Chains A and B, each alone.
Chain A
Amino acid sequence: MAKPLVEAIAAMREEDALRIADQLLDGGEDPLLILEDCREALGVIGRRFEEGDCFIPELIMAGEMLSQISTRVKPHLKDQGKEPVKLGRVVMGTVQGDIHNIGKDIVVFMLDASGFEVQDLGVDVPPARFVEAVRQFEPQVVGLSGFLTLAYDPMRRTVEALAEAGLRSQVKVMIGGGLVDDRIRRYTGADAYGKDAAAAVALAKGFTGA
């Protein structure tokens, strides 16, 4: 049973969570079940946040634990031949002028865990860097993240830069992070917007026909 992992993550006990994940992996636990526990714990913390009983630093701590566990789980997935068939390639980044990484990191984790190859460009990413990554990595999907309303313009400039480079028709662009909706999607010229990490995965699957 891997439930102690859910509890450790939900209680923000980072060292315990990592130790339990290591023990489970060493004991031959199905790595996919460990990732499932992570998703469950994230759900618990997300609900707590909705109810106003969780500070943002706690949310961020949870993201950090997921990221570390994901890094540990990956080699085991490979070893056991359980690495999901790659569904497609996604370039992700927080747009220029915005340095918030937590939402993007959770999306990267979820995309990765769902079988996408993800190139994470980090934060404060200039449009030219997205263009370069699309040329080199040839993703089907580009994910633009931003937490502030100040991010809408750089999202738009990034979509424009892809168009100017003649790459726009090769990729689907999804946006998310702070508050985005269909008006912001239209404004930025993106193809879709997502409210949370699960939505980002659903969008990426839709775009790649997975």
Chain B
Amino acid sequence: MPLHRGAMTGSHRTKVIACATVMEEIRPLLREGIQTQTLDFGLHSKPEALRKILQDAVNASEGLADTVVLGYGLCSLAVVGLRSRTCQLVVPRVDDCIGLFLGSQQAYREQSRRHPGTYYLTKGWIEAGDSPFHQQAELAKRHGHQRARRMAALSLNNYTRVAFIRTGEGGLGGYRAWAKRAGVEFGLRYEELEGSSRLIRKLVHGPWDDEILVVCPGREIRFEDFLPEGERNGEAVG
């Protein structure tokens, strides 16, 4: 497995495409001159639409960038099938952004194994305003307060915990309080998890080792590329 240079070295032109919540964590780590494109957070629940928009964004990067860094994980297979004729695509090998925020896929899997019924929140997610907690007001407008509450309670059925991931640099007080209140309101245990910029840092600065998938121009991102080494049926890296 060759180690690849990170995105920021040499005269390489790099573009970072990420959803709003991930971009929030990536942006402070970027050096000047890196192009960015932020996509709507809400697309995560519509993977086929997300794939199309991602492919359009990748296509639009051709000629302007040599490397496109995607701030997405497997994300309901939304990245599977993406390709660029001229750019190499760089993607973290994680199921979704929770692995990015926790610093590794392993940390995410461990959390998931120990606490499957976890609703994760970060500063970015709270700002994005797309959760059953946020939707209360709109649902109450549509159906009345009581029904809205019942809907939220049903949505959180089987959830036992709200985990607020502490990401970025300070200034989280209001967000932590919001997450805690959301948990308490729906009878969920509240916990905080220490976030880590380790994997995001590696994604933008390298080294692109086995945690980071690098796909050469012309080659499609495959589901198998996200499997552990040895199960990939041919390497995807260019």
Binding site for B on A (CB under 8 A): 12-14, 52, 55-58, 60-61, 64, 96-101, 123-124, 148-150, 178-179, 181, 183-184, 187
B residues less than 8 Å from A124 (CB atoms): 116-117, 158
Taking a contact as CB atoms under 8 Å apart, the answer to whether B147 and A123 are in contact is no
A58/B139 contact (C-beta < 8 A), A12-B147, A14-B147 known: yes
Which chain B residue lies CB-closest to A183? B223
- A178–B96 Cα gap in the complex (Å)? 13
Q: How large is the interface on B (under 10, 10 to 19, 20 to 34, 35 or more residues)?
A: 35 or more
B223 partner, pick from A12, A64, A123, A184, beta carbons under 8 A: A184
Beyond the given pairs A179-B47, A187-B223, 12 more chain A to chain B contacts, judged by CB atoms under 8 angstroms and listed by A's residue number, are: A12-B143, A52-B46, A57-B154, A58-B151, A60-B151, A61-B147, A148-B96, A150-B95, A150-B109, A150-B112, A184-B77, A187-B227
A99/B159 contact (C-beta < 8 A), A57-B132, A178-B76 known: yes
- A203–B46 Cα gap in the complex (Å)? 24
Is B106 positioned at the interface, with any CB of A under 8 Å from its CB? no
A residues less than 8 Å from B135 (CB atoms): 55, 57
Taking a contact as CB atoms under 8 Å apart, the answer to whether B95 and A101 are in contact is no
Taking a contact as CB atoms under 8 Å apart, the answer to whether B223 and A99 are in contact is no
Which chain A residue lies CB-closest to B155? A57
B residues less than 8 Å from A99 (CB atoms): 116-117, 158-159
- Least CB distance from B137 to A in Å reads 11
B residues less than 8 Å from A13 (CB atoms): 147
B residues less than 8 Å from A123 (CB atoms): 158
A residues less than 8 Å from B222 (CB atoms): 183
Taking a contact as CB atoms under 8 Å apart, the answer to whether A100 and B158 are in contact is yes
Can you spell out 24 A-B residue pairs with CB atoms less than 8 angstroms apart?
A12-B143, A14-B150, A56-B132, A57-B151, A60-B151, A60-B157, A61-B147, A61-B150, A97-B112, A97-B113, A99-B159, A101-B158, A124-B158, A148-B96, A148-B112, A149-B75, A149-B76, A149-B96, A150-B95, A178-B76, A183-B80, A184-B77, A184-B223, A187-B224
- A117–B159 Cα gap in the complex (Å)? 28
Which chain B residue lies CB-closest to A96? B116
Taking a contact as CB atoms under 8 Å apart, the answer to whether B154 and A60 are in contact is yes
Binding site for A on B (CB under 8 A): 45-47, 73-77, 80, 95-96, 108-109, 112-113, 116-117, 132, 135, 138-139, 142-143, 147-148, 150-152, 154-155, 157-159, 222-224, 227
Which chain A residue lies CB-closest to B148? A57
Which chain A residue lies CB-closest to B154? A60
Taking a contact as CB atoms under 8 Å apart, the answer to whether B77 and A61 are in contact is no
Which chain A residue lies CB-closest to B99? A150
- A99–B222 Cα gap in the complex (Å)? 27
B residues less than 8 Å from A184 (CB atoms): 77, 223
- A148–B118 Cα gap in the complex (Å)? 12
Which chain B residue lies CB-closest to A57? B151
5 closest A-B pairs (Cβ-Cβ)?
Answer: A57-B151, A99-B158, A57-B155, A179-B76, A99-B117
- A64–B155 Cα gap in the complex (Å)? 10
A residues less than 8 Å from B47 (CB atoms): 179
- Least CB distance from A11 to B in Å reads 8
Taking a contact as CB atoms under 8 Å apart, the answer to whether B76 and A61 are in contact is no
A residues less than 8 Å from B138 (CB atoms): 55
Which chain A residue lies CB-closest to B109? A150
A residues less than 8 Å from B224 (CB atoms): 183, 187
B residues less than 8 Å from A100 (CB atoms): 158
